[in-house]
């Protein structure tokens, strides 16, 4: 490229929704965005982390055929930059000297001009990049129009070393490609980290993130730029694709971005609702389902899931089914019908009395002499699950599972019954949060929602006592502590990993805390078989919290003892680990 330094640079930021494994489709998305950048007079367009592959590719990236397809797409795009249009900075897997890297490549003038490799591979929470990638060497900047752009990739800015290297080797602008998934409060964390790197290096920073759902993860975008004085130059909207050309000028040796649009940050509950909606939409669409079907019980969980599905896909692609039994109240029947009418979705009623009776008759000989118990209750849930799966098979609709995080935590769900399904949009929402988002949806909906305006969940659904209605006069609180207390205890156990003693010291009833912790541990085998669902909290089940099913450890509920210093006084021995004893 031309190495004569310029004093102006137009950088197009591409905040897009790639699809994992859709290499040719992602290449076409990159072409379309580059064409727009060319019309805007851009010098270079920058995409998100691993854009060509989609993110996260997980073990797919280990397949030689996939590696070759990604490289072929990059080489094709490189040849196309011989047209004199904008240079391209794009993320891709890259094999070099027998090692696989998370790479970012500069394409210009018909060739691959430079490659840079991610140094700091995250290996916590939802990330396990050390499993598949090799860490790269410390990166120097790359030149575009003679301007030195430093490219720390995503996790590389969560510590100071990579940015320090870029600054020391002449970097002038930090350009950071990301595959940074959403969870509550994440955008504030990103901004704070970026500010720290700007302060330390004295360099402006462009943060490029992707959008869209990929299995349990949702990426919220919110790409932004910070000038060297830490002022925000632009911020793209959350959960929306956007291609923005930004204009940079060097004045007295310092680069500054011309003021661009600054999208307002979403309120936390609005962001959670939108993440659940986008996660469901992309899971259904990217996996090419015609639509979805779900059981409408008249309860708040299925009501919120129905609203999310309608907002995600439109009413024509959503089918609700009421599956009444002798314990189903008239109020539940009325409420389920009201929800379906308010959303405008198809609504069917399939009574399950004869199916349950048939199973009980078939089991009568085996169960002879045994008292009725939860087994017969679970038959109802399993009949409902079978009927929903039959509708799914017949019409090509994915079953939406409607269990919340409180239920998943303590096992208040039936395997092969109400846990049946392909995807659960509220899997990471506690029951109290389900109520909160249901109330929110009655007064607001996302800009990208396809459902109707106005209230869609009857007030009665939000005020009546929750019940599985598997026996007469049943309520959830027959089995569980009140949700206000339960959810606070669970949040401390799951998200914070607090010891029982600390939770009791915070004012919670000891017997209740011990009971909840025991239920949480026993339900691990159920959670391992649950449908995937959208991550919205710091620690979701599945990708984040990975506990053994077989385990005999239980927190004794006492304060931790002081460590025995006599056993650890030799610091070298203390660090050695059990393998050295």
Q: Pick from 265, 298, 318: which residue ends a domain?
A: 265
pTM of the predicted structure, to 2 decimals: 0.91
Number of structural domains found in the chain: 2
- The answer to whether residue 540 sits within a structural domain is no
DSSP state, 423? Answer: B
Q: CA–CA distance from 86 to each of 12, 82, 343, 409 (Å)? A: 9, 10, 46, 51
Q: What pLDDT is attached to residue 478? A: 62
d(C-alpha 96, C-alpha 99), whole Å: 5
Percent of the chain surpassing pLDDT 70: 93
We report the CATH number of the domain holding residue 456 as 3.40.50.620
Compute CA 62 distance to the chain's CA centroid, rounded to the nearest angstrom: 23
- Which has the closest alpha carbon to 294: 286, 306, 284? 306
- Are both 251 and 376 inside the same structural domain? no
- The answer to whether residue 564 sits within a structural domain is no
Structure tokens at 96: 């070099």
pLDDT at residue 306 tops 60: yes
Which residue of the set 49, 129, 155, 491 is catalytic?
49
- Are both 261 and 304 inside the same structural domain? no
Which residue of the set 113, 118, 155, 165 is catalytic?
118
Percent of the chain surpassing pLDDT 90: 81
- Are both 229 and 306 inside the same structural domain? no
- Are both 405 and 427 inside the same structural domain? yes
- How does pLDDT run across 320-339, given as a tens digit for each residue? 999 998 888 888 899 999 99
Residues 6+ apart with CB under 8 A from 17: 210, 211, 212, 219, 241, 282
**Does residue 145 carry a catalytic annotation?**
no
We report the CATH number of the domain holding residue 116 as 3.60.110.10
Q: What pLDDT is attached to residue 556? A: 82
**Does residue 164 carry a catalytic annotation?**
no
Cα torsion angle, 556, 558, 563, 566, sign? negative
Q: What pLDDT is attached to residue 126? A: 84
Which residue of the set 154, 257, 276, 305 is catalytic?
154
Q: Pick from 434, 461, 479: which residue ends a domain?
A: 479
d(C-alpha 13, C-alpha 172), whole Å: 17
Mean pLDDT of 374-386: 92
Which three-class secondary structure string do you get for 117-158?
Answer: ECCCCCCCCCCCHHHCCCCCCCCCCEEECCEEEECCCHHHHC
Q: What pLDDT is attached to residue 1? A: 46
d(C-alpha 474, C-alpha 486), whole Å: 18
- Are both 167 and 313 inside the same structural domain? no
- How does pLDDT run across 501-559, given as a tens digit for each residue? 999 999 999 999 999 999 999 999 999 999 999 999 988 988 888 888 888 888 887 66
Q: What pLDDT is attached to residue 481? A: 85
Q: Pick from 430, 461, 479: which residue ends a domain?
A: 479
Mean pLDDT of 161-184: 94
Contact 352, 323 (CB under 8 A): yes
**Does residue 154 carry a catalytic annotation?**
yes
- Are both 145 and 185 inside the same structural domain? yes
- How does pLDDT run across 100-157, given as a tens digit for each residue? 999 999 999 999 999 999 998 988 878 889 899 999 999 999 999 999 999 999 999 9
Other C-beta atoms lying within 10 Å of the C-beta of residue 95: 15
- Are both 119 and 201 inside the same structural domain? yes
- The answer to whether residue 565 sits within a structural domain is no
- The answer to whether residue 539 sits within a structural domain is no
d(C-alpha 319, C-alpha 300), whole Å: 17
- Are both 211 and 311 inside the same structural domain? no
Residues 6+ apart with CB under 8 A from 408: 427, 523, 526, 527, 530, 541
Q: What pLDDT is attached to residue 469? A: 55
Q: What pLDDT is attached to residue 575? A: 33
- The answer to whether residue 500 sits within a structural domain is no
Say what the alpha-carbon torsion angle 513, 519, 524, 529 is, to the nearest 10 degrees. Answer: -130
Other C-beta atoms lying within 10 Å of the C-beta of residue 474: 16
Structure tokens at 179: 């595959």
Contact 307, 438 (CB under 8 A): yes
pLDDT at residue 471 tops 90: no
- Are both 152 and 283 inside the same structural domain? no
- The answer to whether residue 486 sits within a structural domain is no
N residues, the chain: 581
- The answer to whether residue 491 sits within a structural domain is no
d(C-alpha 230, C-alpha 227), whole Å: 5
pLDDT at residue 250 tops 70: yes
- Are both 116 and 133 inside the same structural domain? yes
- Are both 79 and 213 inside the same structural domain? yes
- Are both 226 and 290 inside the same structural domain? no
Where in the sequence is the domain holding 308, given as residue range(s)?
A: 270-362+372-479
- The answer to whether residue 578 sits within a structural domain is no
Across all residues in the chain, what is the average pLDDT? Answer: 91
């Amino acid at each position: 490229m031309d190495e004569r330094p310029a004093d102006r640079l137009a950088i197009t930021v591409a905040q897009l929704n790639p699809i994992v494994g859709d290499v040719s489709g992602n290449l076409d998305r990159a072409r379309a965005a580059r064409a727009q950048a060319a019309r805007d007079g851009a010098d270079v367009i920058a995409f998100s982390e691993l854009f060509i592959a989609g993110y996260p590719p997980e073990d797919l990236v280990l397949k030689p055929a996939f590696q070759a397809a990604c490289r072929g797409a990059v080489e094709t795009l490189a040849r196309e930059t011989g047209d004199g249009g904008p240079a391209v900075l794009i993320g891709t897997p890259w094999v070099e000297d027998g090692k696989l890297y998370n790479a970012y490549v500069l394409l210009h003038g018909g060739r691959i001009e430079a490659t840079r490799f991610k140094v700091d591979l995250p290996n916590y929470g939802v990330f396990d990049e050390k499993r598949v990638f090799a860490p790269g060497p410390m990166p120097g900047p790359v030149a575009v129009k003679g301007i030195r752009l430093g490219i720390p990739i995503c996790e590389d800015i969560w510590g100071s070393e990579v940015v320090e290297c870029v600054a020391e080797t002449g970097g002038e602008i930090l350009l950071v490609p990301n595959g940074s998934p959403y969870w509550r409060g994440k955008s504030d964390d990103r901004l704070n980290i970026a500010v720290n790197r700007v302060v330390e290096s004295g360099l402006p920073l462009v943060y490029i993130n992707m959008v869209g759902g990929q299995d349990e993860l949702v990426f919220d975008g919110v790409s932004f730029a910070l000038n060297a004085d830490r002022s925000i130059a632009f911020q793209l909207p959350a959960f929306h694709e956007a291609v923005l050309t930004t204009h940079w000028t060097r004045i007295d040796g310092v680069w500054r971005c011309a003021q661009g649009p600054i999208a307002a940050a979403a309120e936390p509950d609005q962001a959670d609702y939108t993440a659940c909606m986008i996660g469901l939409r992309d899971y259904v669409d990217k996996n090419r389902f015609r639509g979805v079907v779900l059981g409408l019980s008249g309860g708040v969980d299925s009501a919120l899931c129905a609203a999310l599905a309608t907002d995600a896909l439109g009413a024509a692609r959503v089918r609700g089914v009421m599956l009444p039994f002798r314990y189903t109240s008239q109020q539940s029947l009325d409420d389920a019908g009201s929800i379906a009418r308010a959303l405008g979705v198809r609504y069917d009623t399939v009574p399950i009395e004869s199916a349950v009776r048939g199973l009980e008759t078939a089991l009568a000989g085996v169960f002879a002499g045994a008292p009725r118990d939860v087994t017969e209750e679970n038959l109802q849930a399993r009949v409902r699950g079978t009927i929903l799966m039959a509708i799914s098979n017949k019409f090509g609709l994915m079953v939406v599972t409607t269990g919340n995080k409180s239920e998943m935590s303590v096992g208040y769900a039936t395997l092969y019954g109400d846990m049946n399904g392909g995807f659960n949009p509220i899997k990471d929402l506690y029951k109290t949060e389900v109520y909160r988002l249901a109330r929110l949806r009655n007064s607001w909906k996302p800009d990208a929602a396809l459902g109707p305006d106005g209230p869609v969940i009857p007030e009665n659904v939000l005020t009546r006592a929750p019940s599985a209605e598997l026996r007469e006069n049943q309520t959830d609180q027959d089995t569980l502590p009140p949700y206000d207390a339960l959810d606070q205890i669970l949040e401390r156990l799951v998200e914070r990993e607090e010891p029982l003693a600390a939770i009791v010291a915070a004012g919670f009833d000891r017997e209740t805390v011990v009971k909840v912790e025991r239920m949480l541990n026993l339900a691990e085998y159920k959670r391992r078989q649950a449908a995937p669902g959208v991550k919205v909290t710091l620690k979701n089940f599945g990708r984040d919290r990975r506990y053994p099913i077989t385990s005999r450890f239980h927190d004794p509920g006492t304060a931790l003892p002081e460590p025995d210093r006599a056993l650890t006084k030799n610091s070298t021995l203390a660090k050695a680990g059990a393998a050295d004893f």
